Chains A and B, each alone.
Chain A
Amino acid sequence: MSHVHDHDADHESVYAGLTGGDDSRWAFGTDFEDPLAGIDTTLPDGVDAAALSQYCLMLGDDALIYSHRLSQWASNAPDLEEDIALANVALDLLGQARLLLVRAAAADGDLVPALPEGSPVPDEDALAFFRDEAAFRNVRFVEPENGDFAVTMARLLVFSTFRLAVMQRLVGSHDTVLSAIAAKAVKELTYHRDYAGRWFLTLAQGTGESRRRLLAALTLVWPLYDELFRTHPVEALLAEQGVGVDPAAVADDVAVLLEQVFSVSGTDRPDVPAAGPVGTGMGRDGMHSEAMGPLLAEMQVVARAHPSGRW
């Protein structure tokens, strides 16, 4: 294709209109060559590139995996408004994931899976679609099946409260890229948390059936709660360097905020034992729950069938 553009000619066919006649538009719908184009991605002094990269994967994978899970509600939600709301939440998280995976790849290119020579698949897509399960660094909290609407709202309330607390602190990161990504994420997550919190209250104070389902949902999501605040050595290291956030440091803030919701809703913090590790580790160590394999299979199958990015 030529790089000389004629606007009118481009819009003569539907396909050309969609792609803009631009080679940078990849078959899978990647829409921006580099979402960090022109941004200074130099590492702050004294920061270990490999550690920063791993840290970006952790935050990026949390958003990526949860975004995929939430996107499964598209066309399945109780009504059109909730369908659109959940798709919007999933899209915001996907955007955060993309920026974080690009940041991970820019900090340490070694962790990007190798693709066939000449493949136009960008680094963030290679990370999302061509890593195997053990290379994912997300917490297990975001992996389980959606369950019913009450389970989804209970999980979204906890996750968005946790992520908002982390991102608020991350705004102070010495890494200017992480700081900027976090500042944007705070605005988006505020809407997500309010949305889930309002539904939590509505379901708790609704009918006997909605309350029964909500209480069951809370018990169901809670065993993976503690893992959110378990500090991985990479998180500890980056928190020490003023670049990352130690999740243990936000545990109290998260608990206090959730307590507000519980108290208004007339519910209690569940008293159920925390899930144990998988073998020797948890999500941040690459040890995942049973739900992760099928989720990745669904998320990655199309990209893996076309590693050269063309069909």
Chain B
Amino acid sequence: MVTLPSTDTTRREETARALAAQVTDPEMPMLTLEDLGVLRDVSSGDRGQILVTITPTYSGCPAMGAMRDDLLHALRDHGFDDVEIRVRLHPAWSSDWISARGRAALVEHGISVPGAAARHDGPVPLTLLPVPRALTCPRCDSVEVSLVSEFGSTACKAMYRCACCLEPFEHVKEI
């Protein structure tokens, strides 16, 4: 026998999903966790609890604790007392999961958006010269930009500088 979810359950899930989808990333608050692609699923568990599934951006992402707490807060503040945050490691998070709305928000805040992440079927090739990215300066649109470092203020960003407006800017890395 198949039990279909009651309308009540469905409505509750929808409300919970909408609340969770508004929670923002602690390190890039212009992005919601949904836009970042970290929020994978919101559903109901066996005992009626709300199950929220998230996928970490990086293994050591220090913001995971804050994300978890912010999700719990957002839901508990609206009467969802029984909430369980679950982690899903597979498939691994990819910068390809950042939504179109998320990309627009990044650009609006002066952060350069990632291109398509590389996919390898065989061994990962070594790249001794930085792989050129087709970037433009988020401030002045110049293409005269150069890589400062593949590592930046958070695990997910690289640092660039613009030769035209002379400003530094951050780029969300392809991963």
Interface residues of A (CB under 8 A from B): 4-7, 10, 20, 22, 25, 30-39, 81-82, 84-85, 87-89, 91-96, 98-99, 164-165, 168, 176-177, 179-181, 183-188, 190-191, 193-195, 197-198, 201, 253, 257, 260-261, 264
Contacts and interface: CB of A to CB of B under 8 A. Distances in A.
Nearest to B152: A84
Contacts, number: 140
Interface residues of B, number: 46
Given A81-B149, A92-B59, 17 more contacts: A7-B73, A25-B65, A34-B87, A35-B56, A35-B64, A38-B51, A95-B56, A95-B61, A168-B123, A177-B89, A181-B89, A184-B56, A184-B92, A186-B124, A187-B92, A191-B173, A191-B175
Given A91-B155, A98-B60, A257 B126 contact: yes
A164 B151 contact: no
Given A37-B86, A194-B127, A31 B62 contact: yes
A129 B67 CA distance: 26
B66 interface: yes
A152 B107 CA distance: 36
Interface string B79-91: 0000011111111
Interface of B: 51, 53, 56, 58-62, 64-66, 68-70, 72-74, 76-77, 84-93, 123-124, 126-130, 148-153, 155, 159, 173, 175
The 5 A-B residue pairs whose C-beta atoms are closest, nearest first, are A95-B60, A31-B65, A38-B86, A95-B59, A180-B89
Contacts of A85: 149-151
Contacts of A180: 89-90, 92
Contacts of B76: 4-5
A80 to B, nearest CB: 9
Interface-centre pick from A6, A38, A191 (highest chain B CB count, 10 A): A38
A257 B128 CA distance: 11
B84 A38 contact: yes
Contacts of A31: 62, 64-66
Given A20-B73, A84-B151, A84-B152, A197 B91 contact: no
Contact of B59 (A99, A179, A198): A99
A184 to B, nearest CB: 4
A274 B14 CA distance: 62
A39 B85 CA distance: 11
